[in-house]
Chains A and B, each alone.
Chain A
Amino acid sequence: MGDKANDKKDVWQGTLALMVLKTLQAMGPLHGYGIARRIEQTSGDLLAVNYGTLYPALLKLEQEGYIRSEWGFSDNNRKAKYYKLTRAGRKQLNKEEREWEETTAILARFLAPGEGRS
């Protein structure tokens, strides 16, 4: 039943969620389009295909209580839904960042060629 596809999606969604949280931390309250642009700019082509996948991820974060949304107006006076980090979201971001660093450190050591081994 497409378990493989699901796994991949889970990883992708996990990464995307982290990026969303990080973006909101860096930029402050932001609408969906803004988040998408920002992620696209920083990550290169990760979101290039499809901004639409962002919305379910935003919804999930909101359901989990890491972000909050409210309607507001953009710089050029357009109505848009703004997302912002909650306290729980900030804590979660710290945690995930730490975990991510640990993971990458381990992976880096693991993947580094020939270090102390033959």
Chain B
Amino acid sequence: MRRLRAWLFRLAGQLHKGAADRELTAELESHLKLHIEDNLRAGMNAEQARRQALIKLGGIEQTKESYRDRKGLPMLETLLQDLRFAARMLRKNLGVTAIVVVTLALGVGANTAIFGLVNGLLLQRLPVPAAEEIAALVIKSGDSSLGALGFSYPQFVEFREQTAPICEVFGSATAWRLNFTAERHSDTLTIGGVSSNYFSALGVKPALGRLVLPGEGEHPGEPAILVLSYSFWQRRFGGDPRVIGKQVRVGGKPATIVGVMEKEFRGQFTVFEMDAYAPLSTAFDDSRASNFWNSRDIHMMLVLGRLKPGVTLAQAQSRFDVISRRLAAQYPVTDKDLSVRVMDERLSRPIPYANNAFIVFSGLFLILGALVLLLACTNILNILMARASVRQREMAIRAALGGARYRLIRQMLTETMLTALLGGIAGVTLGAGLNHLASSTHLLDIPVRLGFGFDWRVFAYALAVVVFTAIAAGLSPALRASRADVNTVLHQGGRPDAGGKARHKVRGDLMGAQVAGSLMLLIVAGLFVRSLRAVEHMDIGFDPNQLLNVRLDPSVSNFSETQTKEFYRSLETRVRALPGVESVSLASAVPVAYMLGKQSIYIEGRPVPPGQKAPEVLFNSVDAPYFETLRIRILLGRAFTDADSESSPRVAIVNETMAKHFWPNGSPIGKRFSLTGDAGPFAEVVGVARDGKYRVLAEDPQPYFYVPLTQDFAAQRTLQIRSAMPPDSLAPVVQHEIQALDANDPIEEIQTMKESLGGTLGYFIYRLGASLAAAMGLLGLLLAVVGVYGVVSYAATQRTQELGIRMALGASPRQILFLLLRQGAQLVAAGLLFGLAGAWLLTRVMSHMLVGVSPSDPVTYVSVAALLSSITLLACWIPARRARRVDPMVALRYE
């Protein structure tokens, strides 16, 4: 307490210096007078009396000084002094300061942006109350190589009931892209179907209206309702509170908006934000959906659980294990080898299928960020070293005048720290800006959000980065400058930093490190870019250019099967007649997008052994012109024709992989398989189509087959139009034709095939990786070039005198140029070697992120190394050329 009181007084004393000083002077004066009087009384003469009194006191100024130290806070005072001085120095060397600040801002900015991303994606918990209780429940079937499936609805319900004492299980079904119509205007929404207890278990609240209530929405046939996300509500309705109760159409079907989600909750998936939520009964409301409610084979639910307070993950895990075993015994065919893993929700991001790819991806980009920072640090270190040698004289003189070494070091570090803070502030602002930009941009079909992770962790990270930089870049120049010996410095005729062979070596090492660091960045970037190019040029089995997809669901209009067929038939005829349309077809699914069907198949004559499951194969129902519209080549046999009708024999077309897999010996044409069971009915294979990509771009070839839409009725179909014009220009015309046929507007989504492929299943992740890595690579290159240029031109100025002598002794400008270039080239070469080794190590983690290019792809390594070495040599050559032109007379007189 006493200490605190004293400290406060001292702090106050720090602020009112003048008054205290005057008071002390008065006090000392009275002290002296009293003493002098005493002395006079003791018989001294006036002068002696005064002298003695002064001696006894020990000097007025000394007393004042020690008094002042006690009065204020000397620590604070020196700090303020250092800061004032530092600020003056920084202002005086505005150019240097600006370069350091900008360099640091780039480094810190890149790092905070990336860390913000990682923070939001991986470190922050869901923005719900007691988020630490939320666990991800990941269901696996023993041999599944995918890592995880979803839960089927019946499984979900069983787990929810049987774990109720320790955990509230809730979940959402895969998101849909659906056409949304309100106020006579349509757009496409991402909608998540949620279990009735989803919001209550999460503990989120509505911003407006209500959410899905417990007990609501898990019985097909309940009235359709919709909860809007906050951002969609803002975007689409301008935050109008009158949306509650509004009648809208979702996927053509009427629904009522009942509420708006609170702003903070942006969905359970860190990367995607739902536009709206609907209960499961709204999402699965018709005959098509009966499989969802009843089948244990339709795995569509992503499931979370809120553990009851005090229940650990391990306790929950053992409970889930018991239930998994019980279900496996109860349903041996479907639930055999079933297991559920209970894990920290953050480890299951973005969705549990992804097998930690996210963590590796984040780790890689954090390393790239660190490399950029290291490059920035190296540049700053370089600049500070140069400044330190210039200031050696100043430091030596200050040391000679009694400046303690630690004070000098502290002074220099204060300067660096101040600069670093400025750079840090600029960097965080930059990072926050980038982050904001990323989070406010709707990049895609799916509302991907990237930025949003700005919280204390990011600031702590940025602060750590700044302090690290200041110490890493500032300590060694400070030590160096403070070590200056006044004798040497003053005797060098004022030439700072003479003959510093060791110093040149340090700077050379720095330059090598820069080349190495930027080479690593550029190689990673190069690999990502090449991978993107490989993906974009990958053979996906069909031609995605000039295609428009229109997803339709005329079941809104309560058409019968015959009416539906008639609707599609007339629609195809009308659209085919539109100008610019080359070919039109219908399919129930679109590859690498949505609505992919999977079927158990039974090969004729090869019954499935009892207790085993029939193999499941992806398929599509298409009409006759489909292969022509998508330009899928039929390699063997024939495509479907109009003769393949309801009444004709059942037919199918298989892809190459399916043909090889099921009929390895000989042609599959004429072979038969069934979709219902070993007893048939069987469909005859009439053709073999080329392999393509069906689920995601990076998949291995997998079996796939087609059946005619006439023989496998689907109400929901996608109209695919190949046109000679830009496909999106067709959209309004096609929309018009559809509305003319069906006033209920059954359009669920209109998109070009290219857009659809740019989605999350398609090119998106590759484009994101490539653009992020390319940005980092370019930043690294920029920093390296600036660094190399700086080192070489500094070395050239330092050696002006030496070069002058060499020239005076007859060295040609050419030789001088070579001398300087050789040194640079050696350093660049060493840097390249280390960089190649570092890049090789770093890229080992990338093998799962790259498609069509190996992490040790020689083309990338060689071309990037060549590019970097030519650019850095150019950066050496320019200052070297300038040095060559030096006039020997000027050089010798220099300094």
Question: Are A55 and B27 neighbours in the complex by a CB distance under 8 Å?
Answer: yes
What CA separation (Å) do A63 and B3 show in the bound complex? 9
In this assembly, does B598 line the interface, its C-beta being within 8 Å of a C-beta of chain A? no
Pick from B33-41, B301-309, B762-770 the stretch touching chain A: B33-41
CA distance A81 to B24 in the complex (A): 10
Given the known inter-chain contacts A1-B406, A59-B71, A64-B6, please indicate yes or no for A52 contacting B66, CB distance below 8 A.
yes
Interface set, chain A 26-60, CB cutoff 8 A to B: 31-34, 36-37, 49-53, 55-56, 59-60
Do the beta carbons of A78 and B59 come within 8 Å of each other? no
Q: Which of these, B23, B30, B38, contacts A80 with CB under 8 Å?
A: B30
Nearest CB on A from B2, distance (A): 5
Per the bound structure, the CA–CA distance linking A2 and B27 in Å amounts to 31
Tell which of B23, B26, B63, B70 touches A60, judged by Cβ atoms closer than 8 Å. B70
Report Cα–Cα, A64/B37, bound state, in Å: 32
Q: Is B666 positioned at the interface, with any CB of A under 8 Å from its CB? A: no
Q: A residues within 8 A CB of B9?
A: 62-63
CB pair B406 A59 closer than 8 Å: no
User: Given the known A-B contacts A1-B406, A63-B10, A64-B6, are A53 and B34 also in contact in the complex, defined by CB atoms under 8 Å?
Assistant: no
Q: A6 on the interface (CB 8 Å rule)?
A: no
Q: Say yes or no for B62: interface residue by CB 8 A criterion.
A: yes
Among B23, B34, B35, B37, the one with the most A-chain Cβ atoms within 10 Å of its Cβ is B34
The complex places the Cα of A33 from the Cα of B31 at a distance, in Å, of 5
B23 proximity list for chain A (CB < 8 A): 81
- Which chain B residues lie closer than 8 Å to A14 at the CB level? none
Chain A residues touching B, range: 20 to 34
Q: Kindly list chain B residues whose C-beta atoms are within 8 Å of the C-beta of A62.
A: 9
Look across to chain B and name the residue whose beta carbon is closest to the beta carbon of A59: B70
| Interface size class, chain B | 20 to 34
CB distance from B823 to the nearest CB of A (A): 42
B56 within 8 A of A: yes
The reply on B5 being an interface residue by CB < 8 A is: yes
Task: Give the distance to chain A from B404, nearest Cβ to Cβ, in Å.
Answer: 8
Interface residues of B in 1-35 (CB under 8 A from A): 2-3, 5-6, 9-10, 13, 23-24, 26-28, 30-31, 33-35
Say whether B67 contacts A55, CB under 8 Å: yes
Asked if residues A49 and B58 are in contact (CB atoms below 8 Å), the reply is: yes
A63-B10, A81-B27 known; A51 and B56 CB under 8 Å? yes
- Give Cα A33–Cα B57 distance, bound, in whole angstroms: 9
Bound CA span A65–B10, Å: 12
- A60-B70, A63-B9, A63-B10 given as contacts; is B2 within 8 A of A51 (CB)? no
Task: Point out the residues of chain A lying under 8 angstroms from B132, CB to CB.
Answer: none
Q: Do B6 and A79 touch (CB < 8 A)?
A: no
Cα A32 to Cα B10 in complex, Å, equals 20
Whether, in the assembled complex, B895 has its beta carbon less than 8 Å from a beta carbon of chain A, the answer is: no
Tell me the bound Cα distance from A49 to B63 in angstroms: 13
A104 interfacial contact with B, CB 8 Å:
no
Most buried by B among A34, A56, A60, A79: A56
Q: Is A76 at the interface (CB under 8 A from chain B)?
A: yes
Interface centre among A52, A62, A74 (most CB of B within 10 A): A52
Could you name 12 residue pairs across A and B whose Cβ atoms are closer than 8 Å? Answer: A31-B30, A51-B31, A52-B58, A52-B59, A52-B66, A53-B58, A53-B63, A55-B24, A55-B28, A63-B5, A65-B2, A81-B26
Binding site for B on A (CB under 8 A): 1, 31-34, 36-37, 49-53, 55-56, 59-60, 62-65, 74, 76, 78-81
